[in-house]
């Protein structure tokens, strides 16, 4: 069965650079969620989209933005990267009101 | 979302039943109890959820107390591959709001 696909799997950036993470939800899923998980931390909710509109917002820094496109894939844009942004970034998708399916994550390292 | 409290860690022998408790005394009437788990650095995985009645699926059983202030996740025959962090989450399940992961239980299955 198709799963949530995230790209890239690994990303290395320098401080103050920008990064774009991509998420392709399970077919026919209309809702996408982004989570950040720092080393030794629990996943922290960043933002979610339903039918291409922002639905819920968590602890997403102002330097980050995200959107969901007409084909339902989503991108998380991160600017002015800081060392503290180094983390695993997970995307999840669901049909509205249903359980979440998570991708394998993108490991971002900021040097 | 309801605040949940779980033990930091637990051990269980391989082949035995693993019983993971969760306190959610502030859960509201429309909030479900969800369980997810995260195997090291992988994306969280849905296990089971329930509202009032006990639930069972191919992965686990969920026992919810009558007053709904606590629940227990049961893995009937634990294997080494069940070693993971288990998260108990209270959520209304409505809309596209992000799930709030708290401090889960690190379950270690011993050979």
**Chain segment A61-75, per-residue pLDDT in tens:** 999 999 999 999 999
Is the Cβ pair A42, B104 closer than 8 Å? yes
Q: Could you please report the per-residue DSSP string of chain A? A: ----EEE-SEEEE-TT--EEEEEEPPTT--EEEEEEE-TT---EEEEEEETTEEEEE-S--TTEEEEE-TTS-EEEEE-S--GGG-EEEEEEEESTTS--EE---EEEEE-
Put simply, whether B5 touches A (Cβ < 8 Å) is no
Residues across chain A: 111
Cα A62 → chain centroid: 15
3-state per-residue secondary structure call for chain B: CCCCECCCEEEEECCCCEEEEEECCCCCCCCEEEEEEECCCCCCEEEEEECCCCEECCCCEEEECCCCCEEEEEECCCCHHHCEEEEEEEECCCCCCCCCCCCCEEEEEEC
Give one word for B80, left, alpha or beta, with left for phi > 0 and alpha for psi -120 to 50: alpha
How deeply is A39 buried, as exposed, middle or buried, from its count of CB atoms within 10 A (0-12, 13-18, 19+)?
exposed
Q: What percent of chain A stands above pLDDT 90?
A: 92
The overall average pLDDT reported for chain B is: 93
- Range of lowest pLDDT (A12-16, A27-31, B11-15): A27-31
- Give CA–CA dist B46/A7, Å, rounded: 22
Residues of B in contact with A76 (CB under 8 A): none
Which A residues in the span 35-54 are in contact with B, Cβ-Cβ below 8 Å?
Answer: 35, 42-50
Residue of A nearest to B98 (CA): A45
Is the Cβ pair A105, B94 closer than 8 Å? no
| Local confidence band at A98 (pLDDT 50, 70, 90 cut-offs) | confident
Put simply, whether A76 touches B (Cβ < 8 Å) is no
pLDDT at A96: 75
pLDDT at B95: 67
| Local confidence band at B96 (pLDDT 50, 70, 90 cut-offs) | confident
């Amino acid at each position: 069965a198709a799963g949530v696909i995230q790209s890239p799997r690994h990303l290395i950036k320098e401080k103050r650079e920008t990064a774009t993470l991509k998420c392709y939800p399970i077919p026919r899923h209309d809702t996408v969620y982004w989570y950040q998980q720092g080393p030794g931390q629990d996943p922290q909710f960043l933002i979610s989209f339903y039918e291409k509109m922002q639905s819920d917002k968590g602890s997403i820094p102002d330097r980050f933005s995200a959107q969901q496109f007409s084909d339902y894939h989503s991108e998380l844009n991160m600017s002015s990267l800081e060392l503290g942004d180094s983390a695993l970034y997970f995307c999840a998708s669901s049909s509205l009101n249903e359980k979440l399916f998570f991708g394998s994550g993108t490991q971002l390292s900021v040097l | 979302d309801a605040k949940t409290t779980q033990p930091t860690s637990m051990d269980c022998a391989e082949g035995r039943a693993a019983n993971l408790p969760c306190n959610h005394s502030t859960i509201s009437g429309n909030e479900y109890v969800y369980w997810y788990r995260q195997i090291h650095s992988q994306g969280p995985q849905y296990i089971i959820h329930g509202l009032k009645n006990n639930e069972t699926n191919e992965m686990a059983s969920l026992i919810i107390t009558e007053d709904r202030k606590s629940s227990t996740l049961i893995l009937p025959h634990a294997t080494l591959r069940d070693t993971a962090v288990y998260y108990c989450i209270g959520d209304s399940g409505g809309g596209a709001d992000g799930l709030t992961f708290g401090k889960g239980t690190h379950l270690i299955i011993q050979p």
